Amino acid sequence: QLLFPLSLEFTSTEIAILQSLKEQLENTGFIFSKLDKDIVELKGVPVSVVESNVSVVLEQLINDVENEVPDNNFSQTDMLAKSLAKSLAIKTGQNLTELEQEHLVNSLFACKEPSISPTNKPTFITIRLEDLDKKFN
């Protein structure tokens, strides 16, 4: 929970999208104290969301919902999970401690499909030693 409620402004269309996702968002840790007209007031956010990034996370989620392909065979909950994962992902250039790096790799390989991302992109590549030698010789 937040020490002070966080107020964010959205359009009426964006508010409607958030209202349709309210239950799923609450299941992930968002706690709404107000969600109407053009104001969203949050009194709690998921542990993994930094307070300063809440508006970015919600805007990305709204954008993903608006641009969703209707027959993509994913439930709204799956789409929400993918969107949150994308917005909360570690960004390029972000420094991680050795412990965080180990946790990241261990979490990746604990997944059902560690070799591909939720958007079907490879998560890692394997390079043979001979190919690596060729790059540097």
Does one domain contain both 39 and 64? Answer: yes
Does one domain contain both 108 and 78? Answer: no
Does one domain contain both 18 and 42? Answer: yes
Domain count, the chain: 2
Does one domain contain both 105 and 78? Answer: no
Does one domain contain both 22 and 71? Answer: yes
Does one domain contain both 112 and 72? Answer: no
Could you tell me which residues come within 8 angstroms of residue 19 by beta carbon, excluding any fewer than 6 positions away? 35
Q: What do you get for the CA distance between the two ends of the chain, in Å?
A: 55
53 CB neighbour count, 10 Å cutoff: 14
Does one domain contain both 34 and 67? Answer: yes
Residues of the domain holding 104: 94-137
Does one domain contain both 13 and 40? Answer: yes
**The dihedral formed by the CA atoms of 41, 45, 50 and 52, expressed in degrees to the nearest 10:** 0
Does one domain contain both 53 and 3? Answer: yes
Report the distance separating Cα 28 and Cα 4, nearest Å: 20
CA angle in degrees (0–180, nearest 5) for 67-84-124: 100
Per-residue pLDDT of the chain (137 residues; tens, 9 = 90+): 888 999 999 999 999 999 989 999 999 899 999 988 889 999 999 888 888 889 999 999 999 888 875 555 667 788 888 888 888 888 889 899 999 999 999 999 999 999 998 778 899 999 999 999 999 98
pTM above 0.75, yes or no: no
Does one domain contain both 71 and 24? Answer: yes
